[in-house]
């Protein structure tokens, strides 16, 4: 009998974790979920995530799959896993999938959001969930920059130096800045992302908003394919994996 293949949807606050991927000597989201699953199923269980998130980054909808010979109803997985997980990691959905499904390679596109708190005073409640920028931002120019990255472009200027992938072209389906009170929220959907791509884009667009560089400079930075010309990497706590589409 072939094992069952299960896809789970999970939400987590990344503040207390060294990212998603399991690594020696550090507590990670993947490690905590695997321990909870192994306890629930009474068998050693490994999971495959839909992608990595860095230290301090959050997820509203992250996905992972696992295989097991034990059948449980969807709701039993949901209740059982959440019972064994800490409060900052919550399973939101469970479904059985085909054996050839892969949480990374079956994904068609992903959406991230980034939250900037734009007010003079820092936050007490959301210190680990937003980037506090105390100076006035020109949201109009930031929205123009978001429009410049729509479509297919080479994002070599907006990737971490440690990212050595040869293909740096990505297709952007949607990119926009929206204001919600004192928050400026960047939302971006693409067929894939380079390491730190969203955070470097945000960091560069915030420099435009602060008047340090112009919208024309932003376009030149994008076309230069030179990371050194882009802005700083925005801090991790404002970033959320919003959705993965299969």
Q: Walk me through the domains of the chain, giving residue ranges and CATH numbers.
A: 4-96 (3.30.70.580), 109-245 (3.30.70.660)
At 200 the pLDDT is 98
Q: Choose, from 13, 54, 141, 226, the residue flagged as catalytic.
A: 54
At 2 the pLDDT is 85
Distances, alpha carbon 68 to alpha carbons 49, 83, 104, 174, 227, in Å = 16, 19, 19, 37, 43
Q: Cβ distance 98 to 3 under 8 Å?
A: no
Distances, alpha carbon 9 to alpha carbons 62, 74, 85, 121, 211, in Å = 6, 12, 14, 35, 40
**Known active-site residue 54:** yes
Full pLDDT tens readout for the chain, 246 residues: 789 999 999 999 999 999 999 999 999 999 999 999 999 999 999 999 999 999 999 999 999 999 999 999 999 999 999 999 999 999 999 999 999 999 999 999 999 999 999 999 999 999 999 999 999 999 999 999 999 999 999 999 999 988 989 999 999 999 999 999 999 999 999 999 999 999 999 999 999 999 999 999 999 999 999 999 999 999 999 999 999 999
At 178 the pLDDT is 98
At 229 the pLDDT is 97
At 219 the pLDDT is 98
At 164 the pLDDT is 87
- The structure tokens 């980054």 sit at 57
Angle at 213 between CA 209 and CA 217, to 5 degrees: 115
| The model's pTM | 0.95
């Amino acid at each position: 009998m072939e094992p069952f293949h299960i896809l789970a949807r999970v939400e987590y606050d990344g503040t207390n974790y060294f990212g998603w991927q399991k690594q020696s000597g550090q507590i990670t989201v993947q490690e905590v979920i695997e321990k909870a699953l192994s306890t629930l199923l009474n068998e050693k269980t490994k999971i495959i995530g839909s992608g990595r998130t860095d230290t301090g980054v959050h997820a509203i909808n992250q996905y992972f799959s696992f295989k097991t010979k034990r059948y449980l109803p969807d709701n039993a997985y949901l209740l059982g896993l959440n019972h064994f997980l800490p409060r900052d990691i919550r399973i939101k959905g469970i479904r059985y999938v085909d054996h050839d499904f892969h949480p990374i390679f079956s994904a068609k596109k992903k959406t991230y959001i980034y939250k900037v708190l734009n007010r003079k005073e820092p936050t007490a409640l959301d210190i680990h969930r937003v980037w506090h920028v105390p100076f006035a931002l020109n949201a109009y120019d930031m929205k123009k920059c978001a429009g410049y990255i729509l479509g297919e472009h080479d994002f070599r200027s907006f990737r971490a130096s440690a990212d050595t992938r040869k293909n740096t072209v990505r297709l952007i389906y949607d990119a926009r800045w929206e204001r919600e009170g004192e928050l400026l929220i960047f939302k971006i959907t693409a067929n894939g992302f380079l390491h730190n791509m969203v955070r470097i884009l945000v960091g560069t667009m915030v420099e435009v908003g602060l008047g340090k560089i112009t919208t024309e400079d932003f376009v030149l930075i994008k076309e230069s394919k030179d990371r050194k010309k882009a802005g700083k990497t925005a801090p991790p706590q404002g970033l959320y994996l919003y959705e993965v589409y299969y």
